[in-house]
Structure 1
Amino acid sequence: MSPSKKHTAGRVPPHRMGGMSRLGSVLGVAALAFALASCGTPAAAPPGQGGGSDSNGGDAAATKVTIGVGGQTLLTYLPTTLADQLGYFTDEGLDVDLQDLQGGSKALTAMLGGSTDVTSGYYEHTIQMQIKHQPIEAFVDIGLSSGLALVVSPKNEDSIKTVGDLKGKNVGVTAPGSSTDMFLKYLLVKKRDKTSDASVSAIGAGSSAVAAVENNQVDAAVMLEPDISVLAKRLGKDPAIIEDVRSTDGLQSVFGTDAWPSACLYAQTDWLKKNPETAKKLAHAVAKALAYANTHTGAEIAAKMPEKFSAGDKALYAAAIDNVKVTYSKDGVFPEDGLKAVLDTQRVANPEVGDKKIDLSTTYTNEFVKG
C-alpha cells in the first residue's frame, strides 16, 4: 500500500528512517531502577468496542482521550509522554489521560475491553490481532527499531559467541509471547532453523532483567535500553552482545531493512472511523514530539520528562535518551518496507501468523499524520 492510500466508504476519511548510529553503552553513573514492561500480546484478547471516554462514539465528545501505554518509563514509548509533557495534546484541543499499564499486552487488552481509546504499543500487535479478527490500525509511527539486543551473561562470554551456541541454554525474555520472545524465536529459526534449541525464562525488564543477567540466572537475554546501559555500569564493562538491532547495520544484518516499525499509536478501526479529527490531532501532537526529540539533546529531553522517570540519576537517564532517540521516527510516517519486515518476522517467529493471509493495508494508515 502506498503512503497515499485512500480509505474507502466505511473506513477512515483521507488525511524514513534517518540515519541510526550504533548505540554505545552508557557508563560512569549509578544504576537506574526503571520499572519497565514487556511489549507482548495477549494469548486471547477479549472482545470490545471503541474506548469508553467517547460515550457518543464521535468527535463531538472525544476531546477526552485515554491512552494506555505499554510501559511508560520504557524509552521506546518516551515520545508519547513527551507530547503530553510539552503540552502538544493540549495545544491540539485534547484532554489526554495517559495510563501506564506496564506491559504491551495489558495496554492492548485494556483498549479492546473499552477501558482506553488508544494504545501506545508495538505495531506488530495490529498484525497479530488481524488473525484474531480484531481490527486495529496504527496511525502514527514512533520507533523505527525495536531497540533489542541479545546479551550474554558474564559466565558465558567465552562459550556463547553465536546464536548457534544457544542450543540447550536458558535465555531470558521479558515475557513469553512478547516482542523480546519473538525476536529470539526469529533468530533461532533464521540461524538454526529451530525455535526449540533454547529454553525461555521470563525475567521482565528493568532491575529484574539486569539482575538476572548480572547474576547469571540465565545464560543470555534479549534486553532493551536503558537496561543494557545499566547492566554495563554494574559489570564495569560492555556486556557481550551476539545480535543487536539498535543500529542501521544491525537492522540490515538481522531483518534486511533500515526500518522495523515498533512503538506507535494504534486504535480499533471502528474508533478511528468515528473519531478521525481526534486521531489527526493525536498524530500531529506525537509528530511534534518526535520533531522535538530529534532536535534536542538527551539532557534537554530529560528535563521535560517526569522527575521519577530518571530514578534519581538524571545524567544516566539523559545519556540513555541520547542513545535511543536515534531510533525514533523523524516524522511519524510508516515506511512500507519496514512494515513488510515486521510481517516477515511474525511469519517466521509466530505460528499463529505463519503463512496466513495478512492485508497490511488495513493495519496502518499515514493519512492522519500527513493530514
Structure 2
Amino acid sequence: MLLVCMLSLVTFAACSTKKETTGKEKTLEKVRVGEVTHSLFYAPLYVALANGYFKEEGLDVDLQTTAGGDKTMTALLSNGIDIALVGSETTIYVYSQGAKDPVINFAQLTQTDGTFLVSRKKLDSFNWSDLKGKVFLGQRKGGMPQMAGEYVLKKYGIDPKKDLTLIQNVEFANIANAFASGTGEFVQLFEPTASIFEKEGKGYIVASFGKESGKVPYTSFMAKESYLKKNSATAEKFTRAIYKAQQWVDTHSAKEIAAAVTPYFKDTPADIMEKVIDRYKTQNSYATNPILDTDEWNNLQSIMKEAGELPKEVGHDVLVNTAIAEKVIGK
C-alpha cells in the first residue's frame, strides 16, 4: 500500500508539472505586429522569431503584412494591430493631424533606405544623369522610399518633376508587377524583388538609394502612446528580443542569417537570400541596436522637407521614446 501511494504521488507530481509547463506555454502574451512589407530588409525581425527570442521574453508575436504605410498606420490607429513596423515619417503625419493619442517610435530596426534603382536594360556603366528624360516608376508619394529617392535625385542635380517622367500612383504592392508588365524604364524596388528580377533578366540593379541617402530611421517599431503607457513591460520585452536579434545579425554571416530566416522566405532561392542580406549588411542597413538617435531623426526631417512633405518640424523627444531601448541595452 505504501508503494502504491508513493507511485501515485510521483504520477500526480508528473501530471502537475506537465500542467504547469502547459500553463506557462499558454500564458505567452500575444502581440499583434503589422509589417509594412515582407522583405529581407527586416531580417532581424525574422531572426527574433526564428531563434525564439520573443518566446524567451514570454511573447507570442502574431506577424501580418499590412502592405503599405497608409494601411499599416490605419491598422495601428484602429487597434487592428498593437505594434507597427513602418517608416518613422508616418508618426509625423499622424501627429501633424492633431492626434490625441500620437504614435511613438520606440525601437529602430533599419537605419538606411532599403530600395535599389533597377534598370530595364542592362547598362555597361551607370550615371544618375541616365535617368533624365526617362520614365521612372517610383514609390508612393509621401512615403519614405519615394522621399529618399527624390532626395538622391536632387543630390545629383536631377529635378524629379521636370527632368524625368515620375510615376507614383501605383499601389505599393503592385509596383513590381507594373514594372514587370512594361511600365517604366527604371524602378525603385525593395529586396528580394530587385535581385529576383535581376536573376530572371527582368531588370538590373544599378544603384543603391541606401548608400546615397545616409543614415536615417527608415523603419522602426511604433505604437500608440496609450499602448506604451499601459503595456510598458511588454514593449520592453519586445525591444529586448529585437536587440538580441540585432546583435545576432551583426555577428553572423549573410549565409548564416539566410539559413535562419529561410522559413519566412520559402519561395526565395538560397543564393538570392544570401546576396540580398550581404548587400544590406555591407551598406549597414541593419541597425545594431534599437536606439533612434537625434541625428537620424533630424536627417529624416531634412529629407521630408526637401521632398516638400514635412508638415512641420517635430522634436525628437515628442515622437521618439529612447528610454525603453536604452534600458534594454543597459545604456
Query: Which residue does the alignment assign to 1:309?
Result: 265
Number of the residue aligned with 2:167? 200
What is aligned with 1:82? Answer: 47
Q: Give the 5 Å matches for 1:159-170.
A: 161-163=127-129, 166-170=131-135
Contact 2:67 2:173 in 1 (8 A): no
Corresponding residue for 2:10?
A: none
Match of 2:105 in 1: 138
TM-superposition CA deviations, 1:59-106 (whole Å, max 9, x none): xx99321111112x3122222232122111111122221122233322
Q: CA deviation at 1:115?
A: 0.7
Q: Quote the residue 2:209 is aligned against.
A: 245
1:278 to 227, 234, 246: 234
Contact 1:69 1:104 survives alignment (8 Å)? no
Cα displacement (A) at 1:306? 4.9
* TM-score normalised by the chain length of structure 1: 0.70
Measured in 2, the distance between the counterparts of 1:180 and 1:114 equals 25
Matched, 1:118 2:45: no
Whether the 8 Å CA contact 1:172–1:202 is kept in 2: the answer is: no
Q: 1:168 to 1:323 in 2, by over 3 A?
A: closer
Deviation at 1:152, TM superposition (A): 3.2
1:347 to partner: Cα distance: 1.0
2:289 aligned with 1:331: yes
Hey, what does 1:33 align to over in structure 2?
none
C-alpha spacing 1:312/1:227, structure 2 compared with 1 (3 Å): closer
Return the offset for 1:246. Answer: 3.4
1:277 and 1:170 map into 2 onto residues whose CA distance is 49
Q: Which has the higher helix share?
A: 2
Structure 1 unaligned spans of 5+: 1-60, 252-256
Secondary structure at 1:330 match in 2: coil
Once residues 319 and 191 of structure 1 are traced to their aligned partners in structure 2, the CA distance between those partners, rounded to angstroms, is: 27
Question: Relative to structure 1, is the Cα distance of residues 347 and 174 closer, same or farther in structure 2, using a 3 angstrom cutoff?
Answer: closer
Query: Could you tell me how far apart the structure 2 residues matched to 1:327 and 1:160 are?
Result: 23
Alpha-carbon shift at residue 118 of structure 1 (Å): 0.6
Q: Does 1:153 align with 2:120?
A: yes
The offset of 1:329, in angstroms, is 0.8
Cα separation, 1, equivalents of 2:32 and 2:203: 41
Query: How many residues are matched?
Result: 295
Matched-pair contact (CA < 8 Å) for 1:210–1:227: no
Q: Give the deviation of 1:110 after TM superposition.
A: 0.2
Q: Equivalent residue for 2:65?
A: 100
Alignment partner for residue 297 of structure 1, among 223, 239, 253? 253
How far apart, in 2, do the equivalents of 1:120 and 1:139 lie? Answer: 11
Q: Which stretch shows the higher mean deviation, 185-194 or 127-136?
A: 185-194
TM-score where L is the length of structure 2? 0.78
CA distance in 2, matches of 1:316, 1:188: 28
Contact 1:291 1:330 in 2 (8 A): yes
> What's the C-alpha RMSD, in Å, of the aligned pairs?
3.0
Letter in 2 for 1:245: F
Q: Secondary structure at the match of 1:246?
A: helix
3-state SS in 1 of match to 2:223: strand
SS in structure 2 of the partner of residue 266 of structure 1: strand
Unaligned runs of 5+ in 2: 1-26
Show the counterpart of 1:235: 201
Deviation sequence 1:119-165 (CA, Å, 0-9, x none): 0112222222221223111111111101223333318x5998335x5
> In the alignment, is the contact (CA less than 8 A) between 2:116 and 2:188 conserved in 1?
yes
Q: Specify the SS of the correspondent of 2:106.
A: strand
Give how far 1:263 is off.
Answer: 1.6
| Amino acid paired to 1:80 | L
Q: Cα distance, 1:208 vs. partner?
A: 5.6
Q: Does 1:341 align with 2:299?
A: yes
Q: Which structure is larger by alpha-carbon Rg, 1 or 2? A: 2
